[in-house]
Amino acid sequence: MKKGFTIIELIIVISIISLLAAITLPRYTDATSEAKVANVRSNLANLRTAIEMYNVKNESYPELKDKEDNLEDFSEFYSKSKLPETPPHENLTENNTIYEKRTDAGGWLYLKEKGELYANLSNGIYTGDTVNEIWDGEPTSPVDPTKEYAVNPGFEVSGLNISTWRSVDANLIEGWETTYPDNRIELWKSGFQGVEAVDGDYFVELNGNGPSTIYQEIETIPGTTLTWSISHRGRSGEDIAEIYIGSGENRVVLETMKDGNSQWGTYTGTYVVPEGQTSTKISIAAVSSVGGSSVGNFIDNFSVKASN
């Protein structure tokens, strides 16, 4: 009579199989991901070379589309009749669509004016690494001109019932920081003492606790043009404040704002992000105030947008 497996023996066998699966499956997954990335990079290299060769001969970059038999004028430099497809992943099918703006749909991002081609894949779509890891270089464009880069332009807060004014911890005002030692920013409610906010329910008094500087650090793409705007108003007379980028020797004053207490002044300008500068610090500082060191310099409606 044959003896069957005992429960303990079955448990041991199942445990061994589970352990082997736990060891081999991640390696298989990693190898698959690496193969997909290698495929994307290989196609990118071949296409970029062909695009540059086309440009040398024709003094312009080729039209690239995502349908079959659309690369006839490109065939001298690229042997295939259509663009390769980026590999499938999760809910993405194979895709060789050409896009003019970055999405996470797969396919290719092609900036014809500059002849730049990128894999149109979002952060970590294959490897979990950074966008640069997949894109093989961050594109210099396109930039969404409607995107607001400033966080909380109108100094809005939630959960605080402010009917007049209040000095609050800067951590409660999303996006904003201050150089003042107690880390507090003075908020005024719109309409208090007859001063209406330009945007939303609140605005800031820079000299609320003394001459202070408030600032934000925003992520930027080198070479893009930032268009900024801001509203400033005096409290007891003509107050003066500055908006600037950087600090110390690298400080660049964008505007010196001088306004009385009868209405808001609106200021706007542009700033080109230098090469290598992926983070840009924009500061707003009190310079002088008619009412004294702890009175004056209202600020509201700060905005930063970008263009190519």
Write out pLDDT tens, residues 209-226: 889 999 999 888 777 889
C-beta neighbour count of 294 within 10 angstroms: 14
Which of the residue ranges 84-93, 153-162, 171-180, 245-254 would you say has the lowest mean pLDDT?
84-93
Q: What is the pLDDT of residue 79?
A: 67
| pLDDT category of residue 183 using cuts at 50, 70 and 90 | very high
Q: What is the pLDDT of residue 243?
A: 97
Q: What is the pLDDT of residue 2?
A: 52
Which of the residue ranges 79-88, 121-130, 237-246 would you say has the lowest mean pLDDT?
121-130
User: What is the Cα–Cα distance from 107 to 50, expressed in whole angstroms?
Assistant: 18
Q: In terms of pLDDT, which residue wins out, 80 or 29?
A: 80
DSSP reduced 3-state for 213? strand
Write out pLDDT tens, residues 45-61: 788 888 888 888 888 88
CA-based torsion, 41, 42, 45, 48: positive or negative: negative
Task: State yes or no: pLDDT of 89 exceeds 50.
Answer: yes
Q: Whole-model pTM?
A: 0.57
CB 216 within 8 A of CB 254: no
Q: In terms of pLDDT, which residue wins out, 21 or 163?
A: 163
Write out pLDDT tens, residues 11-40: 776 777 776 666 655 554 444 556 666 777
Q: What is the pLDDT of residue 159?
A: 86
| pLDDT category of residue 176 using cuts at 50, 70 and 90 | very high
User: What is the greatest pairwise CA distance in the chain?
Assistant: 106
Beta strands in the chain (DSSP E): 98-99, 108-111, 116-119, 165-169, 177-178, 184-189, 202-205, 213-219, 225-233, 239-245, 252-259, 265-272, 279-288, 298-307
Q: What is the pLDDT of residue 130?
A: 31
| Mean pLDDT, rounded, for 127-145 | 44
Which of the residue ranges 13-27, 51-65, 162-176, 256-270 would you say has the lowest mean pLDDT?
13-27
Spell out the domains of the chain, with CATH numbers in brackets. 7-135 (no CATH), 165-307 (2.60.120.200)
